[in-house]
Chain A
Amino acid sequence: MIILRIYRRDGHYDVHQLDIKPETKLLTLFEQIRTGIDPTFAFSSGCRHGICGSCAVKVNGKPVLACKTEIGSFRSGVLRIEPLNSESPKIDLLSDFDGFYRSFSSFPDFLEPNGRPTKENFLPEATRCIQCGICYYSCPSVSYDKEFSGPAAALKQDRFLSDPADTITESRLEEAVGEVYRCVKCYRCTEYCPRSLDPEKAIENIRTRCLTRKEETIGTFHTKALFDSIYHYGKINETFTARYLFGFWGSLPLILSGLPFLFKRRVRLRPVKAANLKEIRRLLEMEND
């Protein structure tokens, strides 16, 4: 016996008590409801086998594709089913995906080819992305940072950046620098992706690329400051990173907020080096190679 609580248009939840095989797919159930119980029940679906990405919904808060999810795959016997994008106006299980689709227009969403197609196999992960919006609407950074274009866009961007046939890498990176450091690395996108893709890895790749640029930005600078701090002291040294980031004069105002820390002995004036600094350096050098 499974109890479904489905979000409906005026904000209430329809409760259906169903005696149904646990291996039934959620989408089959939705279709049964629309066919036999309520023809006005709105949800979207397409290919029925997880290749179009139309049927993403939230089940007990977890975003899934309805066509690939079995009812019995949840620990709880009560399933609360809601639309994916909880912030837009919602009608039954439909919500507004415009924000997601727009996120791809934050960069040139096409290859600017050099006319010489590659001679080697190049199969970017982004080709398997079905643009279901699950990563975008489960990303905490997206929900409070409207300037972040989200994980799916980053995956696509990484695809163009790593394509040897692309010619506008530099301007793509210039755009990307302002984007990728908005990710907070919670790995939700990678965890929830119904295609087992890794947007987080793509963001990591773009960040690595950003470090190779000559021009420095707050993001790359921060990475470098932390790296150097660990290289010199074996640990993160706040005094050092502050001076690195803001310069001597720039970090003077920080001293005021730093003073209480000093009195409570949370910060030391003389930086302490880690005991096994040599090994740490070796590790870092290995990583750099």
Chain B
Amino acid sequence: MFTNLNPISCDVLVIGAGLAGLSAAAEAARAGKKTIVVSKNHPLKSHSAAAAGGINAAMTPEDAVLHCEETITAGCGLCDRQAVEILCNSAADILGKFRKYGTPFRLNENGEPEGRPFGAMSTPRTRFVGDYTGAALMQTAFEQAEKAGVRFEYDVFLTDLIKDGSRIAGACGIRFRSGTAELFSAGAVILATGGAGALFAVNSNGIGSTGDGCAMALRAGLPLKNWELVQFHPTGLYPSGLLISEAARGEGAVLRNKEMEAFMPRYHEKGDLAPRDAVTRAILTEIKCGRGFGRRGDFVLLDCRALSPERLTERLPEICDLTETMLHIHPSTHLIPVLPTAHYFMGGVPTDTEGHVLDAIGFAVPGLFAAGECSWTGVHGANRVGGNSLLEATVFGRRAGKAAAAETVPASPDPNEALRTLNGRLEPPASASEAEETGKIPSPLECRRELKEILSTSCGAVHTTIRHKQGATRLSLLERRFRKYRFRLPPERACNTELKDWLETDNLLLLGAALLTAAEERSESAGAFYREDQIYAGGSLYHTLTEYRKGRFSAERRPL
């Protein structure tokens, strides 16, 4: 158990150092605030760097209107129009800023960033740097944040938000390298911790995408909005689910089933560039109808042979690299085996357009902001358009940074309370001492593997109430076994991987249970959320709000 906390104070505390976090931090630091970015990895190792295809940006006002309409159409009616308008109208400006500071976008003959066609879009407006756009944007964002004077504290795992009265006044956690407890007190806290892709067995996310910020918010009594809306990317590499970017289909690749038929035109007028939810469901249907490949018939093929080898190496080098390292095939000669993979959480901590986090009643929580994948801003609705996530991270990251810098209030959280919270997390519950069950107690990662298996079967791309119920039962049994885990190393030990894994798995269990609760509440299909047992199709539209209070989850509907 920890006996003392190392206090660090700042004006703006940014949790998470992905693209949203860096954008927010740079903006806050430029406003003259002392800004610290705390992340569990080095900023350049964040998962934003794995975003491949590009960033959507309409260069003309007419195209911005079209971008806005297409985003709302793809979002299946669950978008917030005001937020989408802000998103689409700020895109050209954001792109100009990145270009100015050196992101080497691919340019067309007029010297303007070239657009690449992407799913659900009628004009090619996804601007790109090869197929490593995220990495290129991250480099520029990191350089600019450093230049603005942001302080970086990496290898720090934050566990809980700390309040000062009703205000969020900081966060406490553990410095991984030294094994010391830290308390960051801040005038404003920005959550930018990304999604929780690690909840699923087949996912395109990094190992660290464990939704720590969303779990922190849940524990602090704040709701998650539309948490059940998880996007499954149609093309994950078989069998791991690593991302094959939509850029491949944007450049002209097609999906084929067992009969080598390009099946997408049968399902959607836009063919292979249909919205992601449509492509994912089409692939699942093909597989279900026995037209999948492989011994178990559980994948389809992505055919890039129409692209010349030069075009492939020039525009999709990462895909070539990925298939070559993982499967020893080259896309110009072989077809790539793909299957739908958990990709993006459309839901998250509800925020308004300035990044203020909203509580269950809809009031702004003082001192807390959120941006990026961990937040719900309303721009993605029930189905995100490819290329909008990088845009959302930068646009709303900057807005949250600006708002947070303007609203910092000197705060002094109680270190004793923080210490109690932190130690409370690590303490085994009282019942754990009673050896009522003698089953094997799984290690944190074994637990995580089982959790992934449970959620993939009960809460994957296709939902039914029966599966939700089964999942919830299995999850509660798993959680009971998980709580009995005894650490082999004391928590103060330097580089305590065991503790970090345990804390992450703890967050994932919480988020997994929230996911099941939220999914059960949504009784009709909407966008990426597909229910097999719905009573009427195209029913009323609503948001869901999931809360965690006194150890119980509750979900309720909210009108749009």
Known: A109-B146, A121-B106, A123-B129. A46 touches B497 (CB 8 A): no
- Does B8 sit at the interface, judged by CB under 8 A? no
Closest to B243 in A: A49
- Nearest Cβ distance between residue B299 and chain A, in whole angstroms? 17
Check B104 against A122 for contact (C-beta < 8 Å): yes
Check B488 against A109 for contact (C-beta < 8 Å): no
Interface stretch of the complex, out of B45-53, B64-72, B118-126, B537-545: B45-53
Check B443 against A42 for contact (C-beta < 8 Å): no
- Does A288 sit at the interface, judged by CB under 8 A? no
- Does B260 sit at the interface, judged by CB under 8 A? no
Known: A46-B207, A49-B322, A52-B50. A34 touches B139 (CB 8 A): no
Which B95-129 residues have C-beta < 8 A from chain A?
96, 99-102, 104, 106-107, 110-111, 129
Known: A48-B240, A53-B45, A117-B100. A39 touches B206 (CB 8 A): no
Check A120 against B101 for contact (C-beta < 8 Å): no
- Does B81 sit at the interface, judged by CB under 8 A? no
Interface stretch of the complex, out of B184-192, B285-293, B376-384, B444-452: B444-452
Contacts of B46 in A (CB 8 A): 52
Check A92 against B495 for contact (C-beta < 8 Å): yes
In the bound complex, CA of A110 to CA of B147 (Å): 7
- Nearest Cβ distance between residue A88 and chain B, in whole angstroms? 11
Contacts of B449 in A (CB 8 A): 35
- Nearest Cβ distance between residue A98 and chain B, in whole angstroms? 9
- Nearest Cβ distance between residue B197 and chain A, in whole angstroms? 11
- Does A97 sit at the interface, judged by CB under 8 A? yes
Check A39 against B444 for contact (C-beta < 8 Å): yes
In the bound complex, CA of A113 to CA of B106 (Å): 18
Check A124 against B101 for contact (C-beta < 8 Å): no
Check B497 against A39 for contact (C-beta < 8 Å): yes
B117-157 vs A: 1/0 string, CB under 8 Å?
A: 00000000000011010011001100110110000000000
In the bound complex, CA of A124 to CA of B132 (Å): 13
Contacts of B208 in A (CB 8 A): 46
Closest to B205 in A: A47
Which A87-130 residues have C-beta < 8 A from chain B?
91-92, 94, 96-97, 101, 109-111, 113, 115, 117-124, 127-128, 130
Contacts of B41 in A (CB 8 A): 44, 46, 52, 54
Check B129 against A91 for contact (C-beta < 8 Å): no
A261-277 vs B: 1/0 string, CB under 8 Å?
A: 00000000000000000
* Choice from A46, A48, A119, A124 contacting B45 with Cβ under 8 Å: A46
Contacts of B240 in A (CB 8 A): 48
- Nearest Cβ distance between residue B456 and chain A, in whole angstroms? 17
In the bound complex, CA of A34 to CA of B494 (Å): 17
Check B497 against A42 for contact (C-beta < 8 Å): yes
User: Which interface residue of B41, B206, B501 has the most chain A CB atoms within 10 A?
Assistant: B206
- Does B37 sit at the interface, judged by CB under 8 A? no
- Does B306 sit at the interface, judged by CB under 8 A? no
Check B326 against A49 for contact (C-beta < 8 Å): yes
- Does B400 sit at the interface, judged by CB under 8 A? no
Check B446 against A97 for contact (C-beta < 8 Å): no
- Nearest Cβ distance between residue A31 and chain B, in whole angstroms? 7
Closest to B129 in A: A127
- Does B521 sit at the interface, judged by CB under 8 A? no
* Choice from B111, B143, B445 contacting A35 with Cβ under 8 Å: B445
Contacts of B325 in A (CB 8 A): 49-50, 68
A-side binding surface: helix, strand, loop or mixed? loop
Contacts of A96 in B (CB 8 A): 177
* Choice from B50, B107, B129, B444 contacting A51 with Cβ under 8 Å: B50
Closest to B208 in A: A46
- Nearest Cβ distance between residue A146 and chain B, in whole angstroms? 21
* Choice from A34, A111, A128, A131 contacting B497 with Cβ under 8 Å: A34
Check A48 against B107 for contact (C-beta < 8 Å): no
Check A31 against B132 for contact (C-beta < 8 Å): no
- Does B498 sit at the interface, judged by CB under 8 A? yes
Interface size on A, residues (CB 8 A): 49
- Does B489 sit at the interface, judged by CB under 8 A? yes
Which B489-505 residues have C-beta < 8 A from chain A?
489, 494-498, 501
Contacts of B111 in A (CB 8 A): 118-120
Contacts of A163 in B (CB 8 A): 102
Contacts of B143 in A (CB 8 A): 109-111
Known: A50-B325, A101-B42, A113-B101. A41 touches B107 (CB 8 A): no
Check A47 against B497 for contact (C-beta < 8 Å): no
User: Which interface residue of A45, A110, A111, A166 has the most chain B CB atoms within 10 A?
Assistant: A110
In the bound complex, CA of A113 to CA of B177 (Å): 37
* Choice from A44, A91, A127 contacting B132 with Cβ under 8 Å: A127
User: Which interface residue of B99, B110, B144, B445 has the most chain A CB atoms within 10 A?
Assistant: B445
Check B207 against A48 for contact (C-beta < 8 Å): yes
* Choice from A31, A91, A123, A130 contacting B130 with Cβ under 8 Å: A123
In the bound complex, CA of A122 to CA of B143 (Å): 18
* Choice from B50, B107, B144, B488 contacting A39 with Cβ under 8 Å: B488
- Does A165 sit at the interface, judged by CB under 8 A? yes
- Does B321 sit at the interface, judged by CB under 8 A? yes
Contacts of A165 in B (CB 8 A): 100, 102
Contacts of A76 in B (CB 8 A): none
In the bound complex, CA of A68 to CA of B322 (Å): 9
Check A127 against B139 for contact (C-beta < 8 Å): yes
- Nearest Cβ distance between residue B441 and chain A, in whole angstroms? 11
* Choice from B132, B177, B207 contacting A128 with Cβ under 8 Å: B132
In the bound complex, CA of A121 to CA of B107 (Å): 6
- Nearest Cβ distance between residue A55 and chain B, in whole angstroms? 10
- Does A253 sit at the interface, judged by CB under 8 A? no
- Does A36 sit at the interface, judged by CB under 8 A? yes
The 10 closest A-B pairs by CB, nearest first: A119-B111, A111-B102, A110-B143, A35-B445, A91-B495, A42-B497, A39-B443, A117-B99, A47-B206, A52-B45
B residues apposed to A, CB below 8 Å = 41-42, 44-47, 49-50, 96, 99-102, 104, 106-107, 110-111, 129-130, 132, 135-136, 139-140, 143-144, 146-147, 177, 206-208, 240, 242, 317-318, 321-322, 325-326, 443-446, 449, 488-489, 494-498, 501
Q: Would you list 5 pairs from A and B whose C-beta atoms are within 8 A, ordered by A residue?
A: A46-B41, A46-B47, A91-B494, A128-B130, A163-B102
A residues apposed to B, CB below 8 Å = 9, 31, 34-36, 39-54, 68, 91-92, 94, 96-97, 101, 109-111, 113, 115, 117-124, 127-128, 130-131, 160, 163, 165-166
